[in-house]
Chain A
Amino acid sequence: MSPAALLTRLLHLIPVLLGVTVVVFLMMAATPGDPAEVMLAGQQATPAQVAALRHDMGLDRPPLERFGLFVGHAVRGQFGQSLFHRRPVAQVIAERLPATIELSLAALVFALVVAIPLGVLAAVKRGGWLDRAATFGTLLGVSLPGFWFGILLLIGFAVQWRLLPVSGEIDYDAQPPGVTGFLLVDSVLAGRLDSLLNTLAHLALPAITLGLPMAAILMRVTRSSMLDVLRQDYITFAEAKGLSRGRVLLVHALKNALLPTVTVAALETGALLGGNMVVETVFGWPGLGRLVVESIFVRNYPLVQAAVLLYAVTFVLLNFCADLLYTILNPRVRM
């Protein structure tokens, strides 16, 4: 794509990011209760002390200035102190982020690994029992409340059959030395198979729960895109050449059919961000999502504000990249 086109798209991104930041700022500015009072709660502070803290926090300045300060600090990664942890918000978030990323990636991998072969098979054996089952599965996938399904999985696998653990990321005694913060990576780096297996066992149910709606959508896209491709002349011509069925499907068909799947996957990855709050809560996963939910209940607003901003900015950037990816990969545009 031409540099000019890329530039215009980037420029379009800025007002959106700005708008997002404004919204997040307004959300928190309009929160009832005075942050300074909350911070000093239980310390019998005098009104003068509260006022002093408010001045320090910049709460008595005009709104526009406060917004400017907010953006200025945000860009530098300063979101103030977490009221609950008594540590910088940015630090707390950074600690919990790897777990969420690991879960989201696992869900994505699960969705792709399940959806693509099923979609291809459903298209190839169109109208067969697999096709109908898969179509119904898709419907089920978008109709199922994720959190409930997660609980069902827990009841089944963790409680009844005692196959998988009930909660958490890893058992305490199986933890590898923390290098990257990503348990899977750290386990491999430390060469500890028990850590790896333990992590995978804990990861399985949450990843499946989180990835299921995405798998349903991707399966449907793969199936319809595959059906489209199989109707094309170049498939007939490939068969007329006497090529094996496997080659026709995997080399000729799939290469063309995967494009829509990949772009939809990229677009839907953002939705995983929304879903992981609920999944992390159900499975006791120590990630950012659960932290946000907990923070709301303890009125830890600086953290909620920072997290919401982070989620939103990531989401916008993800969608932007997905859009870009589609444009780059689309052969019609390339031509």
Chain B
Amino acid sequence: MSGIAVLGRIRLSYLVVAVFVAMAVLAPIIAPHDPADSDLFRRLQPPFWMAGGEAGFPLGCDALGRDILSRIIFGTRISILVGVVVVSAATVIGVLAGLAAGYLRGWVDVVVSWMTDVLLGFPYLIFAIGLMAMMGPGLLNMVFALAYKEWVVPCRVVRGETLAARETEYVEAARALGASRRFIMLREVLPNILAPVLAVATIRVAQVIILEASLSFLGLGVQPPTASWGSMIADGRGYILDAWWVSTFPGVAILLLVLAINLAGQVRRRDDHG
């Protein structure tokens, strides 16, 4: 692919991500309406380019007469928040666990590996659903449930990298100089294994956003009247016969954001290899 084309792709995907982040941050300012403002006269109003639509409600309204565009803008907050918080927490825990397992080995490794294997034995959604059945639905519980399964991903990566790094010269040198184990782990090994961890984290944010949407779609995540893209799609399900826009536009938002994140992550990796 020519240099310009790659450059174009980077810029576009980073731009899109930046736009979404801006939407999340500036939501109260840029949203045309209050996302919880329900006006039954506007029930299932079509988007502005269709008959019966209004420019003031560009993407139409849902079954409770709430502006879809505003809800999508506020929904950005949930998606990005959940994605970033879950992956960040999971990465911190996973890195520490992986470092400990990979470097200290022995019973620490056995326990961590066992926990990892057990957690990996659950298909993703099943585990989250099981936990949420126990804890009840809601945003906070969902973040906890997702993070609980998510930490094994960076943990495995870090453990593998640590195992490899253990045998390198710079670690042996540090050991010879009498450095403590903790010192070696945190100051010598960690900086060198961060690159793959960050690469994985990027992809995982995209995946977690989709998972959050799925859980909210099933009704287990965010609770009304909070707007999450997933729950918006669920709301529109009953109306696909006459009001397709209620379910469609939130999904477009998910697709755009996730696609942009994946593209941005991909291109960055290709740059590293270039």
Determine, out of A179-187, A241-249, A311-319, the stretch whose residues face the partner at the interface. A311-319
In the assembled complex, the Cα of A145 lies from the Cα of B118 at a distance in Å of: 26
In the assembled complex, the Cα of A296 lies from the Cα of B145 at a distance in Å of: 15
A311's partner among B119, B122, B254 (CB-CB below 8 A) is: B122
Return the chain B residue nearest A273 by Cβ.
B123
Return the chain B residue nearest A297 by Cβ.
B219
A271 to B248, Cβ gap below 8 A? no
A296 to B233, Cβ gap below 8 A? no
In the assembled complex, the Cα of A15 lies from the Cα of B244 at a distance in Å of: 49
Residues from chain A with Cβ under 8 Å of B30 in the complex: none
Q: Tell me whether A143 and B123 are in contact in the complex, defined as CB-CB below 8 angstroms, given that A16-B117, A152-B248 are known contacts.
A: no
Residues from chain B with Cβ under 8 Å of A297 in the complex: 219
In the assembled complex, the Cα of A319 lies from the Cα of B237 at a distance in Å of: 34
Q: Is A235 an interface residue (CB 8 A)?
A: no
In the assembled complex, the Cα of A99 lies from the Cα of B1 at a distance in Å of: 45
Q: Is A256 an interface residue (CB 8 A)?
A: no
A19 to B251, Cβ gap below 8 A? no
Q: Tell me whether A23 and B133 are in contact in the complex, defined as CB-CB below 8 angstroms, given that A275-B125, A282-B237 are known contacts.
A: no
Q: Is A155 an interface residue (CB 8 A)?
A: yes
Q: Is B220 an interface residue (CB 8 A)?
A: yes
Return the chain A residue nearest B247 by Cβ.
A151
B240's partner among A155, A281, A312, A315 (CB-CB below 8 A) is: A155
Q: Tell me whether A274 and B126 are in contact in the complex, defined as CB-CB below 8 angstroms, given that A31-B133, A152-B248 are known contacts.
A: yes
Report B68-82 residues with CB < 8 Å from chain A CB: none
Q: Tell me whether A19 and B247 are in contact in the complex, defined as CB-CB below 8 angstroms, given that A143-B259, A281-B218, A308-B130 are known contacts.
A: no
B118 to A147, Cβ gap below 8 A? no
Tell me the minimal C-beta distance from B264 to chain A in angstroms. Answer: 12
B240 to A159, Cβ gap below 8 A? yes
Determine, out of B55-63, B97-105, B158-166, B209-217, the stretch whose residues face the partner at the interface. B209-217
Q: Is B114 an interface residue (CB 8 A)?
A: yes
Q: Is A3 an interface residue (CB 8 A)?
A: no
Q: Tell me whether A273 and B114 are in contact in the complex, defined as CB-CB below 8 angstroms, given that A143-B255, A148-B251, A148-B254 are known contacts.
A: no
Residues from chain A with Cβ under 8 Å of B117 in the complex: 15-16, 19
In the assembled complex, the Cα of A27 lies from the Cα of B255 at a distance in Å of: 33
Report A148-169 residues with CB < 8 Å from chain B CB: 148-149, 151-152, 154-155, 159
Q: Tell me whether A270 and B134 are in contact in the complex, defined as CB-CB below 8 angstroms, given that A15-B114, A278-B217 are known contacts.
A: no
Interface size on B, residues (CB 8 A): 45
Q: Give 1 or 0 for each of A259-280: 1 = CB within 8 Å of chain B CB.
A: 0000000000011011101100
Residues from chain A with Cβ under 8 Å of B130 in the complex: 24, 27, 304, 308
Q: Is A30 an interface residue (CB 8 A)?
A: yes
Residues from chain A with Cβ under 8 Å of B129 in the complex: 277, 292-293, 296, 304, 308
Residues from chain A with Cβ under 8 Å of B259 in the complex: 139-140, 143
Residues from chain B with Cβ under 8 Å of A30 in the complex: 134
B133 to A312, Cβ gap below 8 A? no
Return the chain B residue nearest A307 by Cβ.
B126
In the assembled complex, the Cα of A153 lies from the Cα of B142 at a distance in Å of: 28
B262's partner among A139, A146, A301 (CB-CB below 8 A) is: A139
A19 to B241, Cβ gap below 8 A? no
Residues from chain A with Cβ under 8 Å of B132 in the complex: 296
B220 to A296, Cβ gap below 8 A? yes
Q: Tell me whether A152 and B121 are in contact in the complex, defined as CB-CB below 8 angstroms, given that A19-B114, A142-B262 are known contacts.
A: no
Counting from the closest, the 7 A-B pairs by CB-CB distance are A274-B123, A148-B251, A19-B118, A316-B121, A143-B259, A143-B258, A308-B130
A-B contact pairs, 6 of them (CB 8 A): A23-B118, A31-B133, A273-B126, A274-B124, A304-B130, A308-B129
Q: B residues bordering A, Cβ < 8 Å?
A: 114-115, 117-119, 121-127, 129-134, 136, 206, 210, 213-214, 217-220, 230, 233, 236-237, 240-241, 244, 247-248, 250-251, 254-255, 258-259, 262-263, 266
Q: 13 additional contacts, CB 8 Å, given A145-B233, A315-B121?
A: A19-B115, A27-B131, A27-B134, A32-B136, A143-B262, A144-B255, A147-B230, A277-B129, A296-B132, A297-B219, A304-B130, A308-B129, A315-B123
